[in-house]
Amino acid sequence: MIAPRKRILMKKIAILQSNYIPWKGYFDIIGLVDEFILYDDMQYTRRDWRNRNQIKTTGGLQWLTIPVDTKGKFYQKINETRVTGSQWTSDHWKAIRYSYAKAPYFKVYEPLFASLYERAAGMEMLSQINHLFLTEICAVLGIGTRITWSSDYTLAEGKTERLAALVRSAGGDYYLSGPAAKDYIVDEVFENAGIELAYMDYAGYPEYPQLHGEFTHNVSILDLLFMTGPKAPEYMKFPRRD
């Protein structure tokens, strides 16, 4: 009798810079891997997703932007970036309440997010604020992926080499990348390291009921949560765990 082959389990890793209350695709990447590494010892980029995102309002899409100190700090890292003041927390929460008060599940999540903004008001570092929202929203969605920091590991030189080394340091042999990284990732580096490389596919997301006009996918995960509640994962791609 031939013994059945043992299933080879791969440890899947994703590495992304932290975003402020990002869209559902970001959370899908987290949910599709075993360890998600926040790449926050990279240079902070202005007018990017690090400190802002969009919500739907009666007047159209609106940016929620965390004010940060960038004066004369052209090369500061994300995890070195400080927020300026705490008034932004009240402003953002007011805008969210105004836009989503009539959403079916807003009242369900209102206490949680009110508490998160209160906690964020006492934080000084952008990276820590992003981490707070990411971990709490993952819990709401039922995503149990381990979230770590790239600073927890020794970093290698070279753009692609650093990513491959992070995957290996985390014990991974599968790397799930965002699709935009195709422009700079050197596939052979992963191949030579014995790491399977895959790119996230954002196509095929189903629409869900939305407030305020024409449907759009590219808004904060808050929109999906407030509109669909516990059914939010049904409109996403990460595997559900019963």
Residue 60 Rama label (left phi>0; alpha psi -120 to 50; beta): left
Instruction: Say whether pLDDT at 3 is over 90.
Output: no
Please report whether residue 25 resides in a domain.
yes
Provide the pLDDT for residue 8: 60
> pLDDT tens for residues 220-229?
999 999 999 9
Per-residue pLDDT, averaged over 110-130, amounts to: 98
Per-residue pLDDT, averaged over 192-211, amounts to: 97
Please report whether residue 230 resides in a domain.
yes
Pick from 238, 242, 236: which is nearest to 24 by CA?
Answer: 236
Q: Phi first, then psi: what are they for 16, rounded to 5°?
A: -140, 150
Provide the pLDDT for residue 147: 98
pLDDT bucket at 174, cuts 50 / 70 / 90: very high
Provide the pLDDT for residue 157: 87
Q: Are 27 and 143 in contact (CB under 8 A)?
A: yes
Pick from 206, 228, 230: which is nearest to 217 by CA?
Answer: 206
Per-residue pLDDT, averaged over 75-90, amounts to: 97
Please report whether residue 36 resides in a domain.
yes
Mean pLDDT of the chain: 94
d(CA 160, CA 197): 12
Please report whether residue 6 resides in a domain.
no
Bridge partners (DSSP) listed for residue 54: 63
> pLDDT tens for residues 33-82?
999 999 999 999 988 999 999 999 999 999 999 999 999 888 999 999 99
Please report whether residue 240 resides in a domain.
no
3-state percent breakdown (helix, strand, coil) of the chain, nearest 5? 40, 15, 45
Tokens of 70: 């960038």
Please report whether residue 208 resides in a domain.
no
Provide the pLDDT for residue 240: 76
Per-residue pLDDT, averaged over 108-114, amounts to: 98
Per-residue pLDDT, averaged over 144-151, amounts to: 96
The domain containing residue 141 runs over which residues? 12-203+213-235
Residue 213 Rama label (left phi>0; alpha psi -120 to 50; beta): left
Pick from 180, 177, 181, 183: which is nearest to 199 by CA?
Answer: 177
Per-residue pLDDT, averaged over 115-128, amounts to: 98
Say whether 175 sits in a helix, a strand or coil.
strand
Instruction: Say whether pLDDT at 4 is over 80.
Output: no
* Order of strands, sheet of 196-199, starting from the edge strand that comes earlier in the sequence: 146-149, 35-38, 12-16, 174-177, 196-199
Q: Are 227 and 210 in contact (CB under 8 A)?
A: yes
Domain tally for the chain? 1
| 241 Cα distance to chain centroid | 20
Instruction: Say whether pLDDT at 1 is over 50.
Output: no
Please report whether residue 189 resides in a domain.
yes
Provide the pLDDT for residue 126: 98
Residue 172 Rama label (left phi>0; alpha psi -120 to 50; beta): beta
Please report whether residue 169 resides in a domain.
yes
